[in-house]
Structure 1
Amino acid sequence: MLVVGFAAGPLRANCYLLAQAAGGECVVVDPGQDSGEPLAAALAEHRLTPVALLATHGHPDHVAGAAGHDLPLHLHPADREWYEGPSVPLAEGPLELAGLALEVISVPGHTPGSVACAATASEGGRLVLTGDTLFAGSIGRADGSGPDLERSLRTKLLGLPDDTVVLPGHGPATTIGRERASNPALIGAEA
């Protein structure tokens, strides 16, 4: 699996491209504010063609760039109020896009419609795109609900294997195991 990521916009939100390999179709995850130019450069560099847009949640720093594409945005209905362009309702469960098998995990709390997207690479590695729910060393604000955020972290994300690579909505990558062991908001939390 090819994973390309870059930060864009004043809030430095991470945008990711997921593909089976260079030179094929890809999914663009979180095409946020000011992502157009770096996205075009990444697509050209890896010879990728976007066939789907997906949002981990509806905040503008994660969806504002979607309007510049001729593709609908896969977005949880609970966050639809923040995005005016065409969208496809995103529900929890399996989803196949660009030949990739993704697992959509509902993680409300940062927003009512926050989701994480997990995938297993053909090489065997696991990853999860957590949006603004889980970061390296911290967790997201509870703009939706604090108890929901805590429950999402404990019952959904901490249940993933320790070697799962976390690709957050802001900042560097980490792993579930590292966050379980050292994230101040998660120490002592049980999956």
Structure 2
Amino acid sequence: MNIYFQASYYILWGLVIVQFIFLTIIMKRLNKNGNTSNGTPTMTHEKEGIPLLEKFPRYVTDINGFRYDLHNYAVDTLLVFTMFKCSKCKDTYPAINNALKNKKGLSVIFFIFGSLDELNELIKEYKIEYPVVQLTHENIEYYNTKSFPFGYFMKADGTIYSKNLIVNEGMLNKLIYLGEENLKRKIS
């Protein structure tokens, strides 16, 4: 029995060491993706969608027929892309309400992939009080956004200052923070 105990003891410690090394590697990669060398936060999906410092397409029309000129909008805006059948996207709606409680001068426009009935169901269920634009197979390529939920922080003149997946409230807050910081620094 003594030999079995010693073997299991060494195997157990070997597994603990392997897990420690594995977790250390993962944490280093997460830190590398989440911060630059000077500690400024970056976003992991900045290569997706419309490029930073480019203007979002000028006009959008919501499901009620109201047309918005995004190059002459009154305030900075979050553009949030979601899908009706996406479970992670459904966590986005309450997260946005929480994040915007203390943010004056910041608006939201939702771009939701789904039928009009599905969009109306979401609006009712999550009490969405912001404009909703319907995404279809035809216009989803136009916006060059293929990951959901995805968000853009757009200046009032239509310029994109940050963008990323927003699968939780922390990532949403990071998107807003980075957009505001980039506006202050006038990134180039």
Same fold (TM over 0.5): no
Which band: TM-score by shorter chain? under 0.3
TM-score (norm 2): 0.27
Higher relative contact order (CA 8 A, sep 6+): 2
TM-score (norm 1): 0.27
Structure in which a larger fraction of residues adopt helix: 2
